[in-house]
C-alpha cells in the first residue's frame, strides 16, 4: 500500500486523517479511543477561559431521506478547566508518541493572554497549536473567533503574538464567513503561521419549527445562529482550499476541513492542496471506527493511480484552477444518450425543455429522447438529473471553432443554442 504518512507544517502523523476540534475531541478518553481506531491526529476541542454551554445545541438538515446532510451547532468551546485539558493532552501524547496532538486555542485578544496559554501548551508536549479564528457564534460576539478571522490585520497581529511564545508549529483556522478567504490566509502567513486550517463552520439556521415557530435548536423558546458543517458544506470548503492553494503568494501548508465523510472526499481535498484532512461531523454520525475505511480506501486508490505518497498528488487539481476568462471557449461538448441504458423517464427532456436550452427532442414511438447537437451547449444538466449512471455522457466535439457573441449577433444567428437575439444585445459584450 502507498505511504500515507504526512508532515503537516512540521507536525508528523502516520496518515492524513485527523479529528477536527469539536465534540469528538473534548477529552483524553476520546483521543485514546480515536488513536486506537487508527486516526493519525486529533485537534483538541478549543481550550480557553471556562464558559457555560447551553442545553439543546445541535440542529440538522436532512435531504431526501439522508439524515444530517448539514449539522448546525451553537455549542461553544470546551467548558472543562484549562488545567484539566492540558494535563490530558500531556498524558495522551506520552501514550501515543507517533500521533499528532494539536491544541486548539482561543482567548481574548491581548498579547499577555495569548503568551500565557501558549507557554502552558508548550510544556504539554503537544505537536502543534491551532488558533481558532473561525467560530461564528457565541465567541465572535465576545470579540473572539470569527471576529478576529474576518479582519486580516487582527489575524496577522494575533498570529505574531502567538509565534513570539510558541516553540511548536502554529496553524491558523480560518473562517469561511468572509468575501474572500485569500486575504485572511495571506494575513496568517504574514504573521508567521506555519500552516492554516479551513474551513471553520458557516453562519446558519437550519430550520424553523412550524408548530412553535422557534428556529432550531430550541433553547427555552429562543435560538441563535450557529455554525454549519457536514456534507452540505464540502463544495464551499473545496473552493476555499483551492483558492488558497492556487494563489501564487500563498506558500504554507493547508489542513482541509468541511464535509469529509469518505476516502474520496479526502482525496479531493488533498488534490485541491491539503496536506492533512480533518473530520468532525462524520465521526459524530458514524463513530471513530470509520477511519479504517478512510485509510484503506485512500491507500487502494493511490495504488491504482501509481501514487506512492500523499505529496505525489497534493495540489494537482488546484493547479488546474483558472479564472473564468482563461477557460477555452473553443472547447465543445455535447450530450449523448446511451439507448440501452435509458429507462425512458424523460427527466432529461423536462429539465432541458423547461430550464436549459431546448436541445432534447421526444421521438414518436419511443421513450428514448434524442439530443439535438446543433443546439446543445454542453451544460451537463441532462446528465446530472438522469437517474441512471452513465446513461447520458458528455462527448467532445473539438475542432469546431466558436464564434464570439458579437459575431453571432452580426450574422443574426443564435450563439451555440436557440437563444432569441434581441436588438441591443451587443451592449452585453
Q: Are 125 and 93 in contact (CB under 8 A)?
A: yes
Report the CATH number of the 325-420 domain. Answer: 3.30.70.20
Q: Are 75 and 50 in contact (CB under 8 A)?
A: no
For the chain, the domains span 6-320, 325-420
What is the Cα–Cα distance from 32 to 47, expressed in whole angstroms?
Answer: 18
| Ranges in the chain, pLDDT < 50 | 402, 404, 414-423, 425-429
Buried b (16+ CB within 10 A) or exposed e, 259-294: bbbebebbbbbbbbbbbbbbbbbbbbeeebebbeeb
Q: What is the pLDDT of residue 411?
A: 66
Report the CATH number of the 6-320 domain. Answer: 3.20.20.70
Q: What is the pLDDT of residue 54?
A: 84
Q: What is the pLDDT of residue 358?
A: 96
Q: Known catalytic residues?
A: 135
To which H or E segment does residue 19 belong? Answer: strand 17-19
Q: Are 314 and 270 in contact (CB under 8 A)?
A: yes
* Per-residue pLDDT tens digits for 326-375: 988 888 899 999 999 999 999 999 999 999 999 999 999 999 999 999 89
What is the Cα–Cα distance from 41 to 11, expressed in whole angstroms?
Answer: 9
Chain centroid offset of residue 232 CA:
9
Q: Where are the beta strands (DSSP E) in 107-261?
A: 128-132, 170-173, 195-198, 202-204, 226-229, 254-257
Amino acid at each position: 500500500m502507498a505511504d500515507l504518512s504526512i508532515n503537516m507544517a512540521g507536525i508528523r502523523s502516520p496518515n492524513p486523517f485527523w479529528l477536527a476540534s469539536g465534540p469528538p475531541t473534548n477529552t483524553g478518553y476520546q483521543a485514546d479511543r480515536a488513536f486506537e481506531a487508527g486516526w493519525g491526529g486529533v485537534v483538541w476541542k478549543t481550550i480557553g477561559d471556562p464558559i457555560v454551554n447551553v442545553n439543546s445545541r445541535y440542529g440538522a438538515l436532512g435531504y431526501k431521506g439522508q439524515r444530517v446532510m448539514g449539522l448546525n451547532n451553537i455549542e461553544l468551546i470546551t467548558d472543562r478547566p484549562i488545567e484539566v485539558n492540558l494535563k490530558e493532552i500531556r498524558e495522551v501524547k506520552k501514550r501515543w508518541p507517533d500521533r499528532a496532538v494539536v491544541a486548539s486555542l482561543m482567548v481574548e485578544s491581548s498579547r499577555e493572554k495569548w503568551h500565557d496559554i501558549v507557554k502552558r501548551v508548550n510544556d504539554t508536549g503537544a505537536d502543534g497549536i491551532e488558533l481558532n479564528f473561525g467560530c461564528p457564534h457565541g465567541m465572535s460576539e465576545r470579540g473572539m473567533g470569527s471576529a478576529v478571522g474576518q479582519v486580516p490585520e487582527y489575524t496577522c497581529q494575533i498570529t505574531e503574538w502567538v509565534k513570539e511564545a510558541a516553540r511548536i508549529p502554529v496553524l491558523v483556522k480560518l473562517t469561511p464567513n468572509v468575501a474572500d478567504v485569500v486575504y485572511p490566509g495571506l494575513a496568517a502567513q504574514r504573521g508567521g503561521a506555519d500552516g492554516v486550517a479551513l474551513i471553520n463552520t458557516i453562519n446558519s439556521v437550519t430550520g424553523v419549527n412550524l408548530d412553535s415557530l422557534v428556529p432550531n435548536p430550541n433553547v427555552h423558546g429562543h435560538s441563535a445562529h450557529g455554525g454549519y458543517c457536514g456534507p452540505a458544506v464540502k463544495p464551499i470548503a473545496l473552493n476555499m482550499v483551492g483558492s488558497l492553494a492556487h494563489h501564487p503568494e500563498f506558500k504554507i501548508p493547508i489542513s482541509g476541513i468541511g464535509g469529509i465523510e469518505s476516502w474520496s472526499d479526502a482525496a479531493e481535498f488533498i488534490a485541491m492542496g491539503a496536506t492533512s484532512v480533518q473530520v468532525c461531523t462524520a465521526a459524530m454520525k458514524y463513530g471513530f471506527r470509520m477511519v479504517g475505511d478512510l485509510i484503506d480506501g485512500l491507500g487502494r486508490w493511490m495504488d491504482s493511480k501509481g501514487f506512492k505518497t500523499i505529496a505525489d498528488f497534493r495540489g494537482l487539481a488546484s493547479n488546474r484552477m483558472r479564472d473564468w476568462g482563461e477557460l477555452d471557449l473553443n472547447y465543445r461538448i455535447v450530450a449523448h444518450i446511451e439507448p440501452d441504458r435509458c429507462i425512458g423517464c424523460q427527466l432529461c427532456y423536462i429539465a432541458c425543455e423547461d430550464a436549459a436550452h431546448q436541445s432534447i427532442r421526444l421521438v414518436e414511438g419511443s421513450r428514448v429522447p434524442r439530443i439535438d447537437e446543433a443546439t446543445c451547449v454542453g451544460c451537463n444538466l441532462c446528465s446530472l438529473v438522469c437517474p441512471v449512471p452513465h446513461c447520458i455522457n458528455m462527448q467532445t466535439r473539438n475542432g469546431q471553432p466558436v464564434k464570439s457573441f458579437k459575431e453571432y449577433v452580426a450574422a443574426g444567428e443564435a450563439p451555440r443554442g436557440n437563444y432569441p437575439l434581441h436588438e441591443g444585445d451587443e451592449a452585453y459584450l
